[in-house]
Amino acid sequence: MTPLGSIAGAVLSATPWRLDRRLEVDTRRAALSRISGAVSAMVVVGILLLLTGRNAFWILWQALDSILGSQRGIEGVALRAIPILMTALGVALSLRMKVWNIGSDGQFLMGGLAAVGVGIHMNGPGWLVLIVMAVAGTLAGAAWILVPALARAYLDVNEIITTLLLNFVAFQLVVWASLGFWRDRESAVIRSTERVPVILEKIPGAESVTIALFVPVIIAAALWWVFRSTTIGYEVDTIGGNPRAAGFAGIAVRRRIMVVMLFTGAIAGLGGMLQLSAPGAQAMNAGFSAQFGLSGFIVAALAGASFWGVMGGGVCIAAMFYAGVLLQTKGLSVYIIFASYGVILTGIALGEIAARYRLARRDTEETGTGSDAVAADHASEGAGS
């Protein structure tokens, strides 16, 4: 009936290979194959660039060499790691529940915007202003995901599109703030909001990195503990495994979804505040979030919702990100970097499959696949869509 469709079907069934589900997938194998997926994707990108006459391997090597060789370079990585880690931790938390928060860029922006609002209007001792800014940023991030969370929990509306649409709204709001209602009317910079006079304390010995660096570490440790030792963590993991089973077990699924989603927004929002109160930032403009949410999402996907994995992956991506800034001066545009993000994410997704399946020849014996487990797994993947 569909000639092309049946041709495609015939080609696929003619191959002597098929995918066999592994009976057990241990987390180490899963992580390894995700990472190797990402690395081989990077190699593919590098070869493609080589074919178009750009030696990406050499450039990347040079960039990494100059980063890791100096304090300035290491601090540059740390500065970018903070926002990326915050958004990544938020996404990783939602992934524990198989909820996709694609809106962390928006929550990050709103956190920064709320912090600016407090910072330019509040008078008081610096430490108090900073605390109020942090609270405002956290609440704003949570508020920004409130509607998608309510819709997901109580109306069963998929959160992917709703969280993403709000990114555009947040971006326009930041543009409005920096060109309109909070515009800086005094300095020559007319495309940003007024500057917040206070900044966070610097780490002793550092030129630009503030104590904000400790915040993602503390949050990662707290989340790790919650998921290791508390009932709530266990319940969230259960919902992530199979929401219907969790409901039958008496877990308040809807309420847990609400709480987790609000927390993911709050973490991203706090990330926005931290970014704002770094020395030199201190004001909002249209470029405030240099796709930190996106990078955070990739980190979370790579780490597979393991919080310590997020820390490691986040630092790596931050180094790449900072290298990207240097690469731009050597003929690689930011667009190529985003295009390669796409390839890397595909590599991660394929790596995930490689961990769960193995290639087997069609004529080999059937391995017993637990069809119930498979069905349950798929049911949970499709939940909410």
Partner 1 sequence: MILAIIENAFLSLVGSAIPASTVVVLAATGAMLGERVGVLNLGQEGLIGIGAVYSVIAVLSWGVQSPWMAMLIGMIAAAVAGLVFAVCVVAFRASQVLVGLALALGGIGLSNQLGTNRNGTLIKTLFREVNPGGVLDNNDLMSAFLFHDPIVYIAYVGLPLVLWFVLFRTRHGMNMKAVGENPAAADAVGVSVTGWRIFYSVLGASLTGAAGSYMVLAFTPSWSPDIARGRGWVALAVVIFAGWRPGWAVAGALLYGSMISLDTTAQARGWGLPFMGASDLSFFLSMLPYVVTLVAILIPAGAVKLGRRVRSTAAPAALAIPYAREER
Buried b (16+ CB within 10 A) or exposed e, 291-329: bbbbbbbbbbbbbbbbbebbbebbbbbbbbbbbbebbee
CA angle 303, 162, 302 (to 5 degrees): 10
Binding mask 96-135 for partner 1 (x = CB under 8 A): ----x-x---------------------------------
146 binding partner 1? (CB under 8 A): no
C-alpha span between 8 and 178 (Å, rounded): 52
340 binding partner 1? (CB under 8 A): yes
Describe the crossing of helices 56-68 and 71-95 by its angle, rounded to 10 degrees: 110
- Counting residues that bind partner 1 (by CB under 8 A) gives 70
Binding mask 354-383 for partner 1 (x = CB under 8 A): ---x--------x--x-x--xx--x--xx-
43 binding partner 1? (CB under 8 A): no
Q: Which stretch binds partner 1 (CB under 8 A): 120-128, 207-215, 216-224, 341-349?
A: 341-349
Residues numbered 246-285 forming contacts with partner 1, rule: CB under 8 A: none
98 in the Ramachandran plot: left (φ > 0), alpha (ψ -120 to 50) or beta?
Answer: left
Structure tokens at 14: 């003619």
- Contact pick of 154, 225, 248, 308 for partner 1 (by CB under 8 A): 154
CA angle 291, 296, 297 (to 5 degrees): 100
Minimum Å gap between C-beta 65 and partner 1 is 25
7 binding partner 1? (CB under 8 A): yes
Are 119 and 94 spatial neighbours (Cβ–Cβ below 8 Å)? no
C-alpha span between 211 and 131 (Å, rounded): 13
Q: Which residues bind to partner 1, rule: CB under 8 A?
A: 1-2, 4-10, 12-13, 18-21, 100, 102, 147, 151, 154-158, 160-162, 164-166, 168-169, 172-173, 175-176, 179-181, 294, 297, 301, 333, 335-346, 348-350, 352-353, 357, 366, 369, 371, 374-375, 378, 381-382, 385
